[in-house]
Amino acid sequence: MRSVMIHHLGTGDRDPVLGTATRRLVLLVATLTLLLLAGAPAAFACSAAEGHHCYSLTYYDMSQPQGEEVYGAYADIETYYGDVPRWAKGDRINDELWVSFEGGHKWVEGGATIGNGLDATTPDYFVAREYGCGNCYWEFDYPGASPGYYNWYGLYLNEPNGATGEWCATWAWDSKPDFCFGGMWTASDELETGMEFATTQKSGANNNGRSVGWEQWNNWTWHELWAGAYNHAEPYWEAPLCISVPAPGYALGSVAFAVPGC
């Protein structure tokens, strides 16, 4: 399997959703219909520029003082189609799982990326992490290693060796972690899964898929549900992206996303 490491300068391509001033748009979590943000003003036009990525995802912002925290997350992700015409310029669409620490200053993510200088239409696996130090974003892409379309694939982001602050990315079919990153918190209080749209709609870029998230509670048990006694997963999306939360037939922590097609 040929792979390539991409080291980005700056704070990384990802703008943590809850760390920006972008307005949170909330809809009833019971909705099962893809919605168009008709007439809803976007804070900025979507593009590959840092700070201008758009998102269609479900996020779980936990109440850590009340004991809500996790030692791991897992997502089954399925992409139906995708196209990034500006792929050679570095534009991308990620269908991904994201685990955050320190209010989004540190994080680990992975999934499949379309574009990103690799290919216009092929979703290739990737893993990335950020330490929040200004020049320490790191990404590992797998050119030619793709889940394809209409195929589920799974990714664990967790602490397989105990609550040590070392978080690992493990593809569901592997028997041991693929990458591990120390220096994180021993527990996470924010999870996200869905689509990161780092390109322009005018270019004709498109994507459609879904993700089903699991969480590993701080008693080390796994649950197909992003919810606790105080908070639960909610939707977040920006025009022109579309969303359905939860994804039809699934629990909180799942999302169906698309652009265009509302």
C-alpha to C-alpha distance for 64 and 62, rounded to whole angstroms: 6
Residue 69: per-residue pLDDT: 97
Residue 44: per-residue pLDDT: 52
262 residues of the chain, pLDDT tens digit each: 333 333 333 334 444 343 322 222 222 223 323 333 333 434 458 999 989 999 999 999 999 999 999 999 999 999 999 999 999 999 999 999 999 998 899 999 999 999 999 999 999 999 999 999 888 999 999 999 999 999 999 999 999 999 999 999 999 999 999 999 999 999 999 999 999 999 999 999 999 999 999 999 999 999 999 999 999 999 999 988 999 999 999 999 999 999 997 7
Residue 9: per-residue pLDDT: 30
Label the pairing between strands 242-244 and 254-259.
antiparallel
Residue 262: per-residue pLDDT: 74
Residue whose token pair is 């995802």: 57
Task: Give the Å distances, CA to CA, from 75 to 57, 134, 150, 233.
Answer: 13, 28, 15, 14
Question: In what order do the strands lie in the sheet containing 4-8?
Answer: 4-8, 137-141, 119-130, 106-115, 92-101, 190-198, 54-61, 234-237
Predicted structure pTM score: 0.85
DSSP for residue 103: G
C-alpha to C-alpha distance for 65 and 77, rounded to whole angstroms: 31
Residue 25: per-residue pLDDT: 27
C-alpha to C-alpha distance for 140 and 82, rounded to whole angstroms: 20
Contact at 8 Å (CB) between 71 and 217? yes
Helix, strand or coil, per DSSP, at residue 199: coil
Task: Give the Å distances, CA to CA, from 198 to 20, 52, 54, 225, 256.
Answer: 16, 7, 7, 28, 18
Angle (nearest 5°) at CA 209 between 229 and 117 = 115
